Structure 1
Amino acid sequence: MSAYTQCFYRCFGWSASSANNPITNHDQPKICLDTTKMGTDAVIVKNGKRICGTGGGLANAPIAQDKAYFQVKLQSTGIFGIGVGLETAELDRVPLGEDANSWVLRHDGFIRHNKKTVYETNIKFSEGDFIGVSYDHIELNFYVNGKNIGSPVLGIRGICFPLVIC
């Protein structure tokens, strides 16, 4: 399974067309998956935009603003997850959401945190689906192909990073 990080851009306040936007902060880093914050059997390629192998990867910058959104495109089905995690999330544990430091929508439709199912959805994922994540430091929401799945996660504490697992 591989996941392609489609949209870290809106998560951190810039877009592909930001060069034409005079109010864009040009000092913002390029947001991508961080090769120093990944599971030992995970592989990050395409300049930090694709993860494959087995394990998770965190983005190279935390979610440090009021509202954030990012999404991935499923290149193939299998075991995967997407969500947020602290820098101490167990990135070698697959599927994630089993430790106290990650909140993840997984391939089986479960939203998991700390070995508990927070929500059980009836979602069946397909190749090509877009899975989005919005987080505003109060509520974590997941979207499939642009539609909110209606399962908000509350009570997340700490500095969170976008997280993708394959």
Structure 2
Amino acid sequence: MECLGCIRAFFAANQQIPEYSRLPPVHLDTHFMGENAVIVKNGYRLCGTGGSLANQPIAQNKAYFEVKLQQGGIWGVGIATREVDLNKLPLGTDYRSVVLRDDGCVVGGGQIRHRLPQPVQEGDVIGVAYDHVELQFALNGVDLQVATSGIKGEEVYPVVYVDGGAVMEAAFSSFYHAPPAGYQRILVEQSLL
């Protein structure tokens, strides 16, 4: 009977009301990454070989995230569905992803949609804005004017991939540059039980 009293006292003292206002952070997802990809720095830095999706889909109308090129090599950043093969690089070869690649091309569905007017270099920050119709890229806060159509009718996630020594670091909040007007960080959907 004494143990039952201790258990009741423990649970009475440790009852906590969940904080619905505190959202879990968005980060690169170790459950949806390539076999040889390595995620470090609390889920924000990708190295090795392969891709990674973010742990949250882009659910709101206008979402923004950034990726900083820490070290050059083979890389890509954009959006993808969960059906994308994160081991088969480069991405953009099918309708499961649309990405900006290290060669300066925006590629989706196996087709080059745009070529950047300038190369991306180490230390540069790539901004990605998506409104479920159009995918836009910025370089160091300047719109690259290479808007392209996104992936229609599918749930999409931010995607980053690396190979050849590239290192990319994602930022899903605390951005280097202000998002375009009307865009904001990726919001986390919550269900109330």
Superposition TM-score tier, normalisation by shorter sequence? 0.7 to 0.9
Structure with more contact order per residue of length (Cα contacts < 8 Å, sep ≥ 6): 2
Task: Verify: 1:120 aligned to 2:103, yes or no.
Answer: no
Distance 2:133 2:118 in 1: 24
Answer yes or no: is 1:72 the counterpart of 2:67. yes
Specify the SS of the correspondent of 1:80. strand
Deviation of 1:27 (Å): 4.4
TM-score by length of 2: 0.71
Q: Aligned equivalents of 1:28 and 1:131: distance in 2? A: 25
Look up the SS of the partner of 1:75 in the other structure.
strand
CA contact (8 A) 1:83 1:164 kept: yes
What TM-score comes out, normalization by structure 1 length?
Answer: 0.82
Partner of 2:77: 82
Q: In 2, Cα distance between the equivalents of 1:107 and 1:81?
A: 6
| Kept in 2: contact 1:103–1:112 (CA 8 A) | yes
Task: Give the whole-Å Cα distance in 2 for the aligned partners of 1:61 and 1:132.
Answer: 18
Counterparts of 2:150 and 2:126, CA distance in 1:
22
Rounded Cα–Cα distance in structure 2 between residues aligned with 1:57 and 1:48? 10
Q: Is the 8 A contact 1:90 1:99 kept in 2?
A: no
Moved more, 119-128 or 85-94: 119-128
Q: In the aligned structure 2, how far is the partner of 1:155 from the partner of 1:57?
A: 18
- What displacement does 1:46 show? 1.2
In the alignment, is residue 160 of structure 1 matched against residue 123 of structure 2? no
Give the superposed CA RMSD. Answer: 1.2
Do the aligned partners of residues 135 and 155 (structure 1) sit closer, same or farther apart at CA in structure 2, a change above 3 Å counting? closer
1:16-27 → structure 2 map (5 Å cutoff) = 26-27=21-22
Cα distance in 2 between the residues matched to 1:145 and 1:81: 16
Distance in 1 between residues matched to 2:33 and 2:146, nearest whole Å: 27
Q: Looking at CA atoms only, which structure, 1 or 2, has the larger radius of gyration?
A: 2
Q: Which amino acid in the other structure matches residue 161 of structure 1?
A: Y
Poorly superposed stretches of 4+, deviation over 2 Å: 25-29
